[in-house]
Amino acid sequence: MMQTLFLFGLAMVLCAVSSAIPQSVTPINNLAAYAGSWKFHTEHFATKFSKAREESTTIRNECWNSGEYFACHQFVDSNSAALIVFTYSQKDDAYKSYVIPTEGGNATTGKLLIKGNIWTFPWEDKDDTGKTYYFQVVNVWTGPNDIDYRMEFSEDKVHWTVASKGHETKEHEIEVKKP
């Protein structure tokens, strides 16, 4: 459970886009907005799935685009953390992500839903008793280089508990590579 939360936390910088960012003809190319260095500050709350604390982190995304795939090698505080590969389904109007951890282990998959400047990355998991919980990272772009985000969970997809929230600021652009 905690590994899943960690990997989705790593990917959360890739899960938002702003209406202020020009939208490309090919939706997968919109993810180019995430290439670069991001500084973020997160406040975690005491919940069933999180402990109260604050953290500041820098994430660097070195990205490339090849056809219908978009990938980023993600570094957290200068340490290689994951390779994240995205695809887009026009039929479902949704992105799918594949997070491959640097240290090995199983890759995880996720879904990304986009509605204007709000991108939501939903998933579900079970607690130690086998009870299903629903999670989501909700990212709201407040400007071309700024994202407010929160991670929350629910037992019923109606009543949500915020486990963490924060703000990200893009500090440096990095050019997206093409093969």
SS3 92: coil
Domain ranges of the chain: 2-173
Q: Which residue has the tokens 């440096």?
A: 172
Classified as helix, coil or strand, 7 is helix
- Residues 38 and 7: their CA atoms lie apart, in Å, by 17
Read off the pTM: 0.82
CATH second-level architecture of 2-173? Beta Barrel (2.40)
- Residue ranges with strand state E in 3-116: 36-44, 53-66, 69-76, 79-89, 94-101, 108-115
pLDDT by position in tens, the chain (length 179): 544 444 445 444 444 333 344 445 688 888 888 899 999 999 999 999 999 999 999 999 999 999 999 999 999 999 999 999 999 999 999 999 999 999 888 999 999 988 888 989 999 999 999 999 999 999 998 988 999 999 999 999 999 999 999 999 999 988 898 87
